[in-house]
Amino acid sequence: MRILLVEDNESLREAVAERLRRDGFAVDATGDGNDGLWLAQENPYSLAVLDLTLPGLDGLEIVRRLRAGGRDMALLITTARDAVTDRVSGLDAGADDYLVKPFSLEELMARVRAQLRRVYGKHDPVIRISDLEIDTKSHIARRGGQALELTAKEFGLLELLALRAGQVVSRADIWEQLYDFAEETDSNVIDVFVNRLRKKSEAAGAATRLIHTRRGLGYVLLDPEASG
């Protein structure tokens, strides 16, 4: 999934972005509130992590404008302000969660995962489809009880398809959710990733195909039992 990070503390911004990318997320990061609002309005992020105090627009104003514009991405505010009134203001403006600085990266990642599950209507951190299990907390996927050796990008792709199981996900959607502005990709990179992921998930030989191509449309992950 693709995440927007708006944080004016450069060292914190770099540390958070590095951790998010290490866990397979695509990240666009900026330290300016005006840039953050523009990015949020122009790109299909699943979640935005917003510092409350920013140059330009502050985080609270970004939240207000995004909600007024109908954007329904998850919004997580981070701030050094610990007053109840500040938290209430952020949540009332439309934020989904509020994390007080200093925070641990582990807590931030737990909040991020929880908000992403909410966005996709999932409550259990483990997604189960047929004999496939995807643990979004540990970033381990298993097929028939056997762990799959996946790269961070491959795990991100599998998680995206699983969160939208039964729905066709276009190549454009996959690209937008897996790659940020800083990454350059070849035109066929999505097909290569899907084929690689398909082979790894079917390595047992007798494994039923779960990832299907919809020619001209994209890819869909289907539960063979649920689909008939």
Q: Any bridge partners for residue 49, and if so which? A: 5, 76
**Is 205's pLDDT higher than 60?**
no
Q: pLDDT value at position 15?
A: 96
CATH 3.40.50.2300 location in the chain: 2-119
Dihedral of CA atoms 17, 19, 20, 21 in degrees, nearest 10, equals 80
Q: pLDDT value at position 14?
A: 96
Q: pLDDT value at position 183?
A: 62
Angle at 130 between CA 1 and CA 192, to 5 degrees: 45
CATH 1.10.10.10 location in the chain: 126-221
Query: Does domain 2-119 sit in CATH 3.40.50.2300?
Result: yes
Q: What confidence tier does 206 reach under pLDDT thresholds 50, 70, 90?
A: low
Positive or negative, the CA dihedral 7, 9, 19, 180 is positive
**Is 118's pLDDT higher than 90?**
no
Give residues with Cβ within 8 angstroms of 209, minimum separation 6.
198, 202
Residue 81: how many CB atoms within 10 A of its CB?
15
| Fold of domain 126-221 | Arc Repressor Mutant, subunit A (1.10.10)
**Is 87's pLDDT higher than 90?**
no
pLDDT digits (tens, 9 = 90+) for 146-198: 899 998 889 989 999 998 999 999 988 888 888 776 666 666 888 888 999 98
Q: pLDDT value at position 50?
A: 95
Q: In Å, how far are 47, 53, 78, 102 from 86, measured between CA atoms?
A: 21, 12, 11, 16
Q: What are phi and psi of 90, to 5 degrees?
A: -65, -45
Q: What share of the chain is helix, strand, coil (3-state, %, to 5)?
A: 40, 20, 40
Angle at 45 between CA 219 and CA 41, to 5 degrees: 125
Assess contact for 33 and 6: CB atoms under 8 A. Answer: yes
Residue recorded with tokens 């084929």: 195
Assess contact for 167 and 221: CB atoms under 8 A. Answer: no
* Helix extents (H) in the chain: 10-22, 33-42, 59-68, 84-93, 105-119, 152-163, 171-178, 189-201
**Which residue has better confidence, 111 or 188?**
111
**Which residue has better confidence, 2 or 86?**
2
pLDDT digits (tens, 9 = 90+) for 5-62: 999 999 999 999 999 998 888 899 999 999 999 999 999 899 999 999 899 999 999 9
**Is 227's pLDDT higher than 80?**
no
Q: pLDDT value at position 202?
A: 85
Assess contact for 134 and 158: CB atoms under 8 A. Answer: yes
